Amino acid sequence: MASSFETTLFPIVQTINEYLSNYVLVILLLGIGIWYTIKTRCVQVRCFKEGWNRVFGNITLNGKKGGDGMSSFQALATAIAAQVGTGIIVGVAGAILTGGPGAVFWMWVISFFGMATIYAEATLAQETRIVEPDGTIKGGPVYYITTAFKGKFGKFLAGFFAVAITLALGFMGCMVQSNSIGATMETAFGIPSWVVGIVLIVICAFIFLGGVQRLASVTEKVVPLMAAVFLFGGLIVLVVRIKYIPETFAMIFRYAFEPQAIVGGGFGYAIKLAISQGAKRGLFSNEAGMGSTPHAHALANVKNPHEQGTVAIIGVFIDMFVILTLNALVIISTLYAGDGPLAGCGAAALSSTFNKTNLAQCAFGTVFGYKAGSMFVAICLFFFAFSTILSWNLFGKINAIWLFGRKNAKTCTVIYTLIALVFILLGTMMSNDLVWELTDMFNNLMVIPNAIALFALTGMVVRGADKAVKS
């Protein structure tokens, strides 16, 4: 029954995503990123050093609590936890398999402009947040959407966003993360995915019900450590495959503009595939323009919004240009370059051997041995995806409370948490492809109202940036 339902639903969702991601998403993401890059006079370049110093000048794994919110570093860790999920391992693998190595180039393009977009999101989240008399902080896109547009239209846009993000991240997104955890754990250790799901919901329930401070305490420790472990393992692989690194970069740039050479089909089809895959996975990984990370940045206690905006820029840089790029280089240098099994051929020829779930495991396995490589990736992905579940649950909860629980937030939180836990468990039992397509669809939909508000509030972002930089 379930299998028949999935078979029927999958092509419908896939068709919707084709139009949203190939046209609407690319136009909106690139458009708003270029817009803010121009309007802020390349804030991602001008203020990069400032953001870097703010992040790494006072780094700690035991940050001070920011009243009822978070410290700036805790907010960044929570945001990166959302960004560094399965998209870093499974998502980029799927993009390379489908769109070729050139998809990585388009991820970089999306991410560069996305650094300006996320600056705008973080500053607007700070500008429009509400601090209640009891110290409770409320902030996120629904608050700057209703600031940009008063009346029924603003409430409609905010409501549309709140519903989309609750489904996309709070429910469907968590299914993606648990799905990938279950699949990789079963491959690496032979543990049934449903067993992994039960263990996962027990741990998540403990953290969810502990509130913002418990979540912040976990993310500020897990995120830096898991990133360091993954980077260390990736660098070992690249050192072993160092002679193929020049070829790896050459393939990324060549197939960005000649994707038909590896993807197949005509030039128009291939280039569209490479760009759309880069855009989709770029969005899913850096989340700039999607409206997710502003919820974390709104909770940061900083002197002015500009400060958290520069910190947010570094979040995208770490996520996309460090961690994701490292994984992409590992995959391409081991599987596509030189004597790799995918050298000179498209993924279709070996689809029965490689898929987006096991591609990174195969890549690391070329150096560590397949078993050790699978175990390494499985452990890293567990912590990546686990931390993302924590952050996405928070973002979804904030919007669920805005929709249904402003008068009784505690009851709404309990009901929302129970539903989220069910979805996490279901994710370990469902088809990988359907879960990803559903998540992509709701991710695409939530971008639309967020992007409209970002365009409308350009003046607020630019004035704040200019004032802060001058002072």
Distance of CA 414 to the CA centre of its chain: 25
Span 2-470 CATH architecture: Up-down Bundle (1.20)
DSSP letter at 350 equals: G
How does DSSP assign 415-428, residue by residue?
HHHHHHHHHHHHHT
174 touches 392 (CB < 8 A): yes
Q: Look up the pTM and report it.
A: 0.88
Q: What is the pLDDT of residue 451?
A: 93
Residue ranges with strand state E in 285-339: none
Q: What is the pLDDT of residue 66?
A: 47
Q: Could you tell me which residues are beta bridge partners of residue 343?
A: none
3-state DSSP percent of the chain in helix, strand and coil, to 5: 80, 0, 20
Q: Which of 421, 416, 457, 449 is nearest to 162 (CA)?
A: 449
Distance of CA 15 to the CA centre of its chain: 22
53 or 343, greater pLDDT:
53
Considering the chain, what percentage of its residues have pLDDT values greater than 90? Answer: 32
Which amino acid makes up residue 135?
G
d(CA 437, CA 98): 14
pLDDT in tens, 113-143: 999 999 999 999 999 998 877 777 889 999 9
Helix, coil or strand: residue 129: coil
123 or 286, greater pLDDT:
123
DSSP letter at 136 equals: -
DSSP letter at 137 equals: E
d(CA 103, CA 416): 36
The values of phi and psi at residue 309, to 5°, are -60, -45
Q: Which helix (H) or strand (E) holds 131?
A: strand 130-131
Q: Mean pLDDT across the chain, nearest whole number?
A: 83
Q: Which of 296, 300, 286 is nearest to 396 (CA)?
A: 296
pLDDT in tens, 143-170: 999 999 988 999 999 999 999 999 988 8
- Give the number of other CB atoms < 10 A from CB of residue 382: 20
d(CA 35, CA 456): 12
Q: Rounded mean pLDDT of 300-318?
A: 91
Q: Which helix (H) or strand (E) holds 130?
A: strand 130-131
Is the pLDDT reported for residue 348 higher than 50?
Answer: no
Q: Which of 52, 61, 51 is nearest to 123 (CA)?
A: 51
102 touches 247 (CB < 8 A): no
The values of phi and psi at residue 413, to 5°, are -60, -45
pLDDT in tens, 175-232: 878 887 887 788 778 888 888 889 989 998 888 888 887 888 888 888 888 889 999 9
Among 51-65, 413-427, 448-462, top mean pLDDT goes to 448-462
Q: What is the pLDDT of residue 187?
A: 76
d(CA 365, CA 355): 15
Q: Where are the alpha helices (DSSP H) in 57-173?
A: 72-83, 86, 92-99, 103-128, 141-148, 151-165
DSSP letter at 138 equals: E
d(CA 330, CA 234): 7
Cα–Cα–Cα angle for 141, 143, 147, nearest 5°? 110
359 touches 331 (CB < 8 A): yes
